[in-house]
Copies of this chain bind each other. A is one copy, B any other.
Amino acid sequence: MTPRTPARSASAPPATASIQDVARLANVSSGTVSRALRGLPNVSAKTRARVLAASQELNYIASPSASSLASGRMSTVGVITPFISRWFFGEVLNGIEQVLQEARFDLVLYIDTDGKLFESLPMKRRVDAVILLTLPSDAPDVAGVANLGVPVGSVGVDIEGFASVKVDDVASAETAVNHLIGLGHRRIGMVVLEHDEIEFSSPRDRDRGYHQALARAGIEPNPALIVKGYSTVEGGEKAAAQLLSLPERPTAIFVQSDEMAMGVLHTIRRTGLRCPEDISVIGFDDHELARVFDLTTVAQPAFEQGAQLARFVLDMVREKAAPRAQVLETQLVIRGTTAPPPAV
């Protein structure tokens, strides 16, 4: 650790001009500056030009705290996510950020691992809206956020009164399992996304889709074939180890996320089994690496879910629009990890 010279040099004067400075220079009142700079009507063209010039000359930027305090608008939306380095969440966040940046809204980020961050309401009076990523309606946070008195949006779940964008997890999971069934599989395992403190909604829905598919095919579900795992590669590895050590191991596995599916594939290979000859695997997401693993999966548009939800939320904030809900399409992507079961 090396001590360094202070960052501020004498050459960089943080001379911050106020609205009064601009007003003086442009020879108008501060009220007129405010109106002119924000493009409000009722400002003559030449006054506006004069104000603009003065503001540029002084390098003026309005103080966000002052204008928020005066107007009640924050131009900020809070985003609460349980993860940041999982594929789905990163992509969604990316979509949200892009739309917000374009709208010149700030994004304040809260990573909330236990679903209880909101007991302390860290963003009360700080944001114009909040976006929740995949928190189920019964998470403590949801109640807290609803009490904030600002528009709320959620991706991955549809919660009463919130804007939402999601995919149909039930139907998508059913499609995945149907693909396996169509291939001739009957003993189909599942790796369920699990999280310590919170129960998310997608895993629940994908679980339902799995059971529906089995039911429609007249296959008796076997609880031993359902195991849980953290949403990581390692989580997938451990879950697969459990499944493979079963006296009657599954001939196919539906894994609720691609990241876990990669772990599952790894364990399968290390066990000396071949995929798809001995056992089929289907994932969920269409992660950047799914192609590399030649992984059959259900593709979901993560970036677009975030972007679309951000648009909905912005409409609620700016136009007082009613919350809207949209379900985006998923797509079965058949690659090389699924095939008919081995001949008995």
Chain A residues within CB distance 8 Å of chain B: 1-9, 12-14, 16, 61-66, 68-69, 74, 76, 84-85, 87, 90-91, 93-94, 97-98, 101, 104, 106-111, 121-126, 146-152, 161-163, 232-234, 262-263, 266, 288-289, 291-292, 316, 322-326
Contacts and interface: CB of A to CB of B under 8 A. Distances in A.
26 contacts: A1-B325, A1-B326, A4-B322, A7-B162, A8-B161, A12-B146, A13-B150, A62-B125, A63-B125, A64-B65, A65-B68, A66-B69, A84-B90, A84-B93, A84-B97, A90-B90, A93-B109, A97-B111, A106-B123, A107-B109, A233-B289, A234-B288, A262-B289, A262-B292, A263-B292, A266-B292
A36 to B, nearest CB: 18
Contact of A149 (B13, B87, B148): B13
Top-10 shortest CB links A-B: A14-B149, A13-B149, A85-B90, A65-B68, A7-B161, A65-B69, A65-B65, A61-B124, A4-B323, A266-B292
Contact of A5 (B125, B288, B322): B322
B87 A6 contact: no
Contacts of A69: 63, 65-66, 69
A66 to B, nearest CB: 5
Given A69-B69, A125-B64, A325 B4 contact: yes
Number of copies: 2
A126 B106 contact: yes
A327 to B, nearest CB: 9
Contacts of A234: 288
A288 B262 CA distance: 11
Contact of A74 (B65, B110, B152, B325): B65
Given A65-B69, A147-B14, A324 B6 contact: no
A122 B68 CA distance: 15
Contact of A2 (B232, B262, B324): B324
A81 to B, nearest CB: 10
A216 to B, nearest CB: 27
Contact of A323 (B7, B12, B65, B324): B7
B104 A107 contact: no
Contacts of A233: 288-289, 291-292
Contact of A84 (B9, B65, B94): B94
